[in-house]
Amino acid sequence: MEFAFTQEQEMIRETAAAFLAEVSDSAAVRRAMATERGYEPALWDRVCGEMYWQAIHVPEEYGGMGLGYVELVATMEQMGRFLLCSPFFATVCLAGNALRVAGSKEQQSRWLGQLCEGKLTATLAFNSGSSDWGADAITATWRREGDAYVLNGCYRYVIDGHTADLLVIAAREEDSKGEAGIGLFLLPAATAGVECRWLPTMDQARKQAAVRITEVSVGTEAVMGELGQSWEALARVIDIATIALAAEQVGGCQQLLDMTVAYTSERVQFNRTIASYQAVKHKAADMMLRTEVARSAIYYAACIAQEALEGTALSGELSEAASVAKSYCSDAYFAVAGDALQLFGGVGFTWEYDVHLYLKRAKSSEHLLGNGTYHRERLACSLLD
Amino acid sequence: MEFAFTQEQEMIRETAAAFLAEVSDSAAVRRAMATERGYEPALWDRVCGEMYWQAIHVPEEYGGMGLGYVELVATMEQMGRFLLCSPFFATVCLAGNALRVAGSKEQQSRWLGQLCEGKLTATLAFNSGSSDWGADAITATWRREGDAYVLNGCYRYVIDGHTADLLVIAAREEDSKGEAGIGLFLLPAATAGVECRWLPTMDQARKQAAVRITEVSVGTEAVMGELGQSWEALARVIDIATIALAAEQVGGCQQLLDMTVAYTSERVQFNRTIASYQAVKHKAADMMLRTEVARSAIYYAACIAQEALEGTALSGELSEAASVAKSYCSDAYFAVAGDALQLFGGVGFTWEYDVHLYLKRAKSSEHLLGNGTYHRERLACSLLD
Amino acid sequence: MKLSFSPEDELFRDQVATWLRDNLAGEFEKLKYRGGPGDEHMFPAERQVWEQKLAEGGWTCVGWPREYGGRGCSIEQQVIFFEEYARAGAPGRVGHIGEGLAGPTIIAFGTEEQKRKYLPGIVAGTQLWCQGYSEPSAGSDLANVKTRARLDEARGKWLLNGQKVWTSLAHEADFCFVLARTDPDSVAHKGLGFFLVAMDQPGIEVRPIEQITGTSEFNEVFFDDAECRADDIVGEPGDGWKVAMGLLGFERGVSTLGQQMQFQNELDEVVRFAKGNGAANDPVIRQRIARAHAELKIMRYNSLRMLSGQSASDGALQKEALIYKLFWATWHRTLGELAMDVLGPECDILEGAPYALSRLQSMYLFVRSDTIYGGTNQIQRNIIAERGLGMPREPKGTAR
Amino acid sequence: MKLSFSPEDELFRDQVATWLRDNLAGEFEKLKYRGGPGDEHMFPAERQVWEQKLAEGGWTCVGWPREYGGRGCSIEQQVIFFEEYARAGAPGRVGHIGEGLAGPTIIAFGTEEQKRKYLPGIVAGTQLWCQGYSEPSAGSDLANVKTRARLDEARGKWLLNGQKVWTSLAHEADFCFVLARTDPDSVAHKGLGFFLVAMDQPGIEVRPIEQITGTSEFNEVFFDDAECRADDIVGEPGDGWKVAMGLLGFERGVSTLGQQMQFQNELDEVVRFAKGNGAANDPVIRQRIARAHAELKIMRYNSLRMLSGQSASDGALQKEALIYKLFWATWHRTLGELAMDVLGPECDILEGAPYALSRLQSMYLFVRSDTIYGGTNQIQRNIIAERGLGMPREPKGTAR
């Protein structure tokens, strides 16, 4: 039993922090978020070429670094801290994990290979517009026509869906309900009948898209896993991605805390730095508590995600670990962001200061992949029903 | 439009405060609460003989003072402030209001008359043990046998039920459901087949009882209102009583706030009174906010209760006013009590200091007649469904 | 205590409602529900026309004494006016700083000449005002004024130098009232003056502040030898703090009920969305909506207490007034969060690029300022504890 | 990072669980789940017999070095021991103050003679300890010690005078460690001594404090020329604060995981009641139970971080340890409220007269002390802000 970063993991975290502090400062974030694409290709090239993060937890056989989910989570935490604008989450945590969990050897070696080379961005689409992120969120359909499958439907909240090269999409057999009938498909975005449209968002530092699929016909090579039986795999993918998202939230908490301590230590009111007021100190203490507790949640969840990817002893805890982490981290992030804005006072209300970027990320990431209420109800079901 | 106490109302409040400060100090409360009866008859005699509170809002034709519910609420607030141990709430707010709302002229003149003379204590029993205080809480039954009605059932949380002379009980027609079939009956506690048993409570300053009724046969003179159609009347009684209970909660808040300000202004830590620490001041400010907001809620609700008793223009707001007041005041009282205990620190944790008496009252009164969640869901039903 | 209004007052209510229904139409239709907090930058010109329309009907400055052009309404009637105004969805008043702040200050502390000079334009809706209090280094420490006023006796002018911030409507306003230091050696609340300054002059520059909404409702105002006449000071040099504090007192008044009516409009919209997207079936959302509803109800009762207490002459501390700002600001901020959570993941989706916020999104972001301006929640708690509960004052620092 | 224990440690876990199953039976059966916080006054004599039973099995002081009679367990094994101990429902340890506080202090700061004299009785479970820190005027201001120690050189004795408070198990304890002022002119944390004092002497009087539960677990202890030998001081006169602070460090350790197992037992009981009375169908209660569950899970992960960090030698500030007290105390208090709200109106009904609380009622009331003792939530936030975030220290008052 050892629940601390190894030296190597520490190094990965430190390297990520140093790199991002340089390339993802406030000006860089603001440049990227003002574009429709939402990230600067040159920076993404550096991420892929220098840091090799896109390959971080991909097995070496597919050209990846073969590290674990703990390393991914440690990196994701830093991305959240610096609000890195990049297709990392969509490509690696959503689509990449879908390939890891549900892809065949062939699919993995074809697509993960390209992904590791940094040639490809990808994403996952499954929710048609629900705040319930379970199987009922899937309303797109598939039907068999001879050897082919015909897909139809709409998706919302598709992260980087308007720029991704490859889509992993979930659809259900026509007339199926609940967890039955779910299939997962690999679909190049350029396929005819696939329409991806940018949805401008309040949190400009992460882009979302709506995807509409109209009578798209695919062959069996596009099918991931056992058609109609894919909910269990998809649920695992979502849980694993959720843990990465929670890590991003922890990074945001940390940055807000650091910014707030720095600002309140400079700002003078009534001839005292406002950091010397107990009301300010105690709010900061609560921010730190939430941040550290959230961090404990994600490190544990990262270990569980790793086990789930490997199918080892504790895989069965995945759903719980994801819900524990996401419910706590979502609420923590929003509370910390709100407190930060309050302690910055008037300037925190300006576009010029960065607090609002985090406030907006806190709210958007709270609802993405299920908010606290949703995840607590998931926990309640297994505890009480 | 005038939303302040009249001079006469001010005087009633001041008189109540002065009387209770004298007769219901900590020692008196502790003496009374240690008994099974729960109040000192001599003090109740003084309340009835000198203050005439038992008759406060009873119409003069029945021997009452003919004042309004605002005066009752102002008095009840002071009783809550000083934790007066007495059968007032059960007798006046529960049974008395039931007689006012549902009793026939004959029933009112017989029983309200005795009540105003201070000869009689009474209570209301309807809940068989549910945390839902609506019609479903009633499981006791009545059935017709010739000219008589036969009653059976159990009740819990019957305030002062083991000492009351007279019970107003609710029962439903056998096999009826929901709001249908409800009847209200007047039942002297001494009736054969009526068994009232003290239920010792954590909040010792208000006594509760369990009542069991076994094959009790009553005549038509015992029936209040239209048999089987009494839910609407009972609901009104409960709402009106709920407003009085909320007023009691406000009185408790005020006393806790006063005690806390006094204590923290004396207690020295690190060579400063702890009242000089912002953490303490801000908690006290929040306590005051809750107290004043709660007070605004009950004064308005008191006006509405008065309209409901008179059947005037705003009667239709009764249910909403009761739920608004009870949900806010319940949560406020418990929060204020918790904060008070925290600010008292170690001594607040002792039996010797009075804080725990209020903490216990806060929790017991929170759940009595429906907690915040229950009342908010009532509001939600009318807003959202 | 009585809750009902007199028959005369109910008649007055009909009169207000009818006038608004008849006049808030045609060219003014598009102003409905616009120009409120978070939206003050919208339609300033059209709203000034509307202000003049109101003036024609005798609906500006309804609470002012008749001798100064007001309608001389009772408190009850003012309550009714502001309620009906908000209920009708009538637009945010571009004249509210003149009517609610500058005017009452001039009435209370000004000279006869100042009254003659400034009040009619406010009543007529032809002259707009903005407020020059906050400064970058001030914030919660309102008295930390660095803007200076120097009397050029030769020219009979005050010359102002410095910077104000968080000034709404500065672009549209004709005048600004400015708190500035007349005694350069003074500190804190001593040695200040309260000036009435015309905005249209070379010594004044207005720069918009971009807010978290992406819009600019507030401004920075720079004074570089900005001028006003020697007699455009309210009270004596050195009285500025007293005058300013008197003014802050006017902020807490009958308009709170109109504000609540706006809150009600917002809450109604939240309820509408909740019913539309199924959030109304979520028990946790139901609790939160019910809580918002209950507290808004109580907010109204609390205001009624405040207003009834004002007519009492015993001068007792009005506790319900002391807690009011903290209560409504926190409520409003919570409503913003609730609105987003009712929308669920849809809360992040804009109406359009580059940054077109929906009304609820704009509200959500804008209400973050409510717990900051006009005394942060933290300052409010200090005030409540110190004035309301007699607890010790916060020590001021010496160096830093 | 790895979550699993080694095969050897799992074997150790079996060993502990087996021993407890075999021995926590018969006469000890009734001690199950008893004697924890809020229940420490129950079965003291029987629990001392149990303590000696543990000692026979080698299960006292498992983390102490072998040279002092401990079992020399690794941190992992200590974690396992405390977890299994709590999982088995084994009773609150009457020896915990000796094992967890007095003993480690003597090991760290004591003389060889003190070690020989005091440690064996702790290991054997034959000598119980209590703690003499808090005083009525101290509270959060721990250093405000008024109890005095005067060396009577002629008799070779220290004479102690003063009063301690919140001393649990004072009636049962054989010894008390007492912080007392050796220099009568000193203030705050200077001039203190740390004394080892036998309880069975005429100079000591113990008076129980009745708590809000109606029971008395804590006591006041009065010292009236209470004696100890000249060499029953740990460290030098004046070193008392340093020794005491070292001791507080020991409180935060591997036992947190055992404490969490008790929390889990309590939460399990809440869940049981919720399922029994239908509260488990109330969506708001569901949210609260799920939150309690999630946070208790994270509490465990946080402790694992704390413990893993201890073996790191870089001396870095352990932030997760700094926030731990505030986190668990607040969690536990919230659990108490949840328990009552699950019970609904039934929460007020006692098991019997005059004041027989159910286990959950007792828990609910007792947990109110968690956010007060050992540093209130307010003090914890000061510490976190000052030590964890480097924010300015609270000014101390001068007069009052």
pLDDT of residue C391: 97
Both B342 and B200 in one domain: the answer is: no
Q: Is the pLDDT of residue D74 over 60?
A: yes
Query: Is residue D41 a contact partner of residue D116, using CB atoms and an 8 Å limit?
Result: no
Considering CB atoms only, which of D134, D210, D340 is closest to B351? D210
CB < 8 Å to B377, chain C: 283, 286-287, 290
pLDDT digits (tens, 9 = 90+) for C65-109: 999 999 999 888 998 998 899 999 999 999 999 998 999 999 999
- Position C398 confidence tier, pLDDT thresholds 50, 70, 90: low
Both A282 and A363 in one domain: the answer is: yes
Both B251 and B321 in one domain: the answer is: yes
pLDDT of residue C248: 63
Contact A277/B at CB under 8 A? yes
Q: How far is C354 from chain B (nearest CA, A)?
A: 34
Choose one of B60, B95, B120: the last residue of a domain: B120
Q: Is the pLDDT of residue C400 over 50?
A: no
Contact D387/A at CB under 8 A? no
Query: Is residue B64 a contact partner of residue B72, using CB atoms and an 8 Å limit?
Result: no
- Provide the CATH number for the domain formed by D7-94 in this structure: 1.10.540.10
Residues 194-213 of D with CB under 8 A from B: 209-212
Check D297 against A6: CB less than 8 A apart. no
The CATH code of the domain that includes A353 is: 1.20.140.10
Q: Give the residue from chain A lying closest to C362, CA to CA.
A: A202
At residue C42, φ and ψ (nearest 5 deg) are -90, 140
Region for residue B96 given its phi and psi (left: phi exceeds 0; alpha: psi -120 to 50; beta: otherwise): alpha
Both A99 and A165 in one domain: the answer is: no
The C-alpha atoms of residue B64 and residue B30 are separated, in whole angstroms, by 31
**C-alpha dihedral, A219 to A220 to A222 to A228, nearest 10°:** 120
pLDDT of residue D253: 64
CB < 8 Å to A343, chain B: none
Region for residue B157 given its phi and psi (left: phi exceeds 0; alpha: psi -120 to 50; beta: otherwise): left
Check C293 against B383: CB less than 8 A apart. yes
pLDDT of residue C297: 97
Question: In the structure encoding, which two tokens stand for residue D294, read together?
Answer: 């999630």
Residues B286-291 have a mean pLDDT of: 98
Q: How far is C393 from chain D (nearest CA, A)?
A: 13
- Provide the CATH number for the domain formed by D129-239 in this structure: 2.40.110.10
Residues C21-44 have a mean pLDDT of: 90
Best interface-test mutation with C: which of D284, D341, D394, D396 has the largest number of C CBs within 10 A? Answer: D284
Q: Is the pLDDT of residue B10 over 80?
A: yes
Residues D294-300 have a mean pLDDT of: 97
DSSP-based three-state secondary structure for B151? strand
Question: In the structure encoding, which two tokens stand for residue D372, read together?
Answer: 């007060």
Residues in a beta bridge with D227: D159
Query: Is residue C94 a contact partner of residue C44, using CB atoms and an 8 Å limit?
Result: yes
Best interface-test mutation with A: which of C166, C337, C348 has the largest number of A CBs within 10 A? Answer: C348
- Position C143 confidence tier, pLDDT thresholds 50, 70, 90: confident
CB < 8 Å to B282, chain A: 279
- Position D247 confidence tier, pLDDT thresholds 50, 70, 90: low
Residues C42-48 have a mean pLDDT of: 91
Contact C377/A at CB under 8 A? yes
Residues D235-249 have a mean pLDDT of: 85
Q: How far is A246 from chain D (nearest CA, A)?
A: 14
pTM of this structure: 0.96
The C-alpha atoms of residue B270 and residue B280 are separated, in whole angstroms, by 14
Contacts of C271 (CB under 8 A, 6+ apart): B383, B384, C280, C289
Query: Is residue C172 a contact partner of residue C128, using CB atoms and an 8 Å limit?
Result: yes
Q: Which residues of C are catalytic?
A: 251
Give strand ranges (E) for chain B. 122-125, 141-145, 148-159, 166-173, 182-188, 194-199, 208-218, 223-228, 268-269, 272-273
Residue A364 included in any domain: yes
Low-confidence winner among A107-111, A169-173, B171-175, C142-146 (lowest mean pLDDT): C142-146
pLDDT of residue C190: 92
Residues C20-45 have a mean pLDDT of: 91
Check D3 against A1: CB less than 8 A apart. yes
Q: Which amino acid is at A243?
A: I
Q: How many CB pairs under 8 A join A and D?
A: 160
Query: Is residue B380 a contact partner of residue C279, using CB atoms and an 8 Å limit?
Result: no
Q: How far is A279 from chain B (nearest CA, A)?
A: 6
Q: Is the pLDDT of residue A141 over 50?
A: yes
Contacts of A195 (CB under 8 A, 6+ apart): A211, A212, A213, A214
Question: Which candidate, C1, C9, C157, places its Cα nearest to that of C84?
Answer: C9
Residues 340-399 of D with CB under 8 A from C: 395
CB < 8 Å to C398, chain D: none
Check D298 against A285: CB less than 8 A apart. no
Best interface-test mutation with A: which of C134, C212, C220 has the largest number of A CBs within 10 A? Answer: C212
Q: Which residues of D are catalytic?
A: 251
Contact C281/A at CB under 8 A? no
pLDDT of residue D3: 78
Both A244 and A212 in one domain: the answer is: no
Q: Is the pLDDT of residue D203 over 60?
A: yes
Q: Is the pLDDT of residue D251 over 70?
A: no
Q: Which amino acid is at B301?
A: A
Low-confidence winner among B33-42, C251-260, D163-172 (lowest mean pLDDT): C251-260
Residue B2 included in any domain: no
Q: How far is B331 from chain C (nearest CA, A)?
A: 11
- Position C314 confidence tier, pLDDT thresholds 50, 70, 90: very low
pLDDT of residue D153: 94
pLDDT of residue C286: 98
Both B279 and B305 in one domain: the answer is: yes
Best interface-test mutation with D: which of C281, C282, C284 has the largest number of D CBs within 10 A? Answer: C284
Share the mean pLDDT of chain C.
Answer: 92
Check A279 against B278: CB less than 8 A apart. yes
Contact C389/B at CB under 8 A? yes
Contact C238/B at CB under 8 A? no
Identify the helix (H) or strand (E) that includes residue D242: helix D240-251
The C-alpha atoms of residue A319 and residue A323 are separated, in whole angstroms, by 6
Check A277 against B278: CB less than 8 A apart. yes
Query: Is residue C323 a contact partner of residue C388, using CB atoms and an 8 Å limit?
Result: yes
The Cα-based distances of B229 to A140, B126, C169, D175 in angstroms read 52, 15, 61, 71
Query: Is residue A328 a contact partner of residue A297, using CB atoms and an 8 Å limit?
Result: yes
ipTM: 0.96
Share the mean pLDDT of chain D.
Answer: 92
Q: Give the residue from chain A lying closest to C369, CA to CA.
A: A349
The boundaries of the domain holding residue A87 are 7-120
By percentage, how much of chain B surpasses pLDDT 90?
96
Region for residue D125 given its phi and psi (left: phi exceeds 0; alpha: psi -120 to 50; beta: otherwise): left
Architecture of domain D252-388: Up-down Bundle (1.20)
Q: Is the pLDDT of residue C42 over 80?
A: yes
How many residues appear in chain D?
Answer: 400
By percentage, how much of chain C surpasses pLDDT 70?
96
Q: How far is D316 from chain C (nearest CA, A)?
A: 30
- Position D256 confidence tier, pLDDT thresholds 50, 70, 90: confident
Residues C251-265 have a mean pLDDT of: 79
Identify the residue with better confidence: D139 or A187.
A187
**Given CA atoms C45, C49, C54, C56 in this order, what sign does their dihedral have?**
positive
pLDDT of residue C36: 83
Question: In the structure encoding, which two tokens stand for residue D35, read together?
Answer: 């004697």
Identify the helix (H) or strand (E) that includes residue B366: helix B355-367
Question: Which candidate, A201, B378, A159, places its Cα nearest to that of C343?
Answer: A201
The Cα-based distances of C129 to A215, C118, C179, C236 in angstroms read 61, 10, 14, 21
pLDDT digits (tens, 9 = 90+) for A85-137: 999 999 999 999 999 999 999 999 999 999 999 999 999 999 999 999 999 99
pLDDT digits (tens, 9 = 90+) for B356-374: 999 999 999 999 999 999 9
Considering CB atoms only, which of B1, B278, B280 is closest to C76? B1
DSSP conformation class of D272: H
Residues in a beta bridge with B350: D211
Domain count, chain A: 3
By percentage, how much of chain A surpasses pLDDT 90?
96
- Position B151 confidence tier, pLDDT thresholds 50, 70, 90: very high
Both B207 and B249 in one domain: the answer is: no
By percentage, how much of chain D surpasses pLDDT 90?
77
Choose one of B63, B92, B120: the last residue of a domain: B120
Residues 265-284 of D with CB under 8 A from C: 283-284
pLDDT digits (tens, 9 = 90+) for A330-367: 999 999 999 999 999 999 999 999 999 999 999 999 99
For chain C, the domains span 7-94, 129-239, 252-388
Helices (H) and strands (E) in chain D, counts: 13, 8
CB < 8 Å to C395, chain D: 395
| Rg, chain D, Cα only | 22
DSSP conformation class of C314: S
Share the mean pLDDT of chain A.
Answer: 97
Contact C184/B at CB under 8 A? no
The C-alpha atoms of residue D279 and residue D263 are separated, in whole angstroms, by 20
Q: How far is C346 from chain A (nearest CA, A)?
A: 8
pLDDT of residue C40: 83
pLDDT digits (tens, 9 = 90+) for C203-245: 999 999 999 999 998 999 999 999 999 999 999 999 999 998 8
Query: Is residue A183 a contact partner of residue A228, using CB atoms and an 8 Å limit?
Result: yes
Considering CB atoms only, which of C308, C322, C390 is closest to B3? C308
Choose one of A197, A224, A251: the last residue of a domain: A224
DSSP conformation class of D211: B
Q: Is the pLDDT of residue C313 over 80?
A: no
Both B141 and B195 in one domain: the answer is: yes
Considering CB atoms only, which of B278, B307, B376 is closest to C287? B376
pLDDT digits (tens, 9 = 90+) for D301-322: 999 888 887 554 444 568 888 9
Chain A neighbours (≥3 Cβ pairs under 8 A) are B, C, D
Q: Give the residue from chain A lying closest to B282, CA to CA.
A: A279
The C-alpha atoms of residue A324 and residue A328 are separated, in whole angstroms, by 6
CB < 8 Å to D137, chain B: 268
The CATH code of the domain that includes A75 is: 1.10.540.10
DSSP-based three-state secondary structure for A75? helix
Question: In the structure encoding, which two tokens stand for residue C111, read together?
Answer: 């000279």
Query: Is residue B261 a contact partner of residue C387, using CB atoms and an 8 Å limit?
Result: no
Low-confidence winner among A37-51, C342-356, D116-130, D250-264 (lowest mean pLDDT): D250-264
pLDDT of residue C251: 47
Both B12 and B142 in one domain: the answer is: no
DSSP-based three-state secondary structure for D229? strand
pLDDT digits (tens, 9 = 90+) for B314-327: 899 999 999 999 99
Both A112 and A13 in one domain: the answer is: yes
Contact C359/A at CB under 8 A? no
- Block residue for tokens 């929790």: B363
pLDDT of residue A265: 97
Check C2 against B4: CB less than 8 A apart. no
Q: Is the pLDDT of residue A249 over 80?
A: yes
Check A277 against B279: CB less than 8 A apart. no
Residue B1 included in any domain: no
pLDDT of residue D317: 65
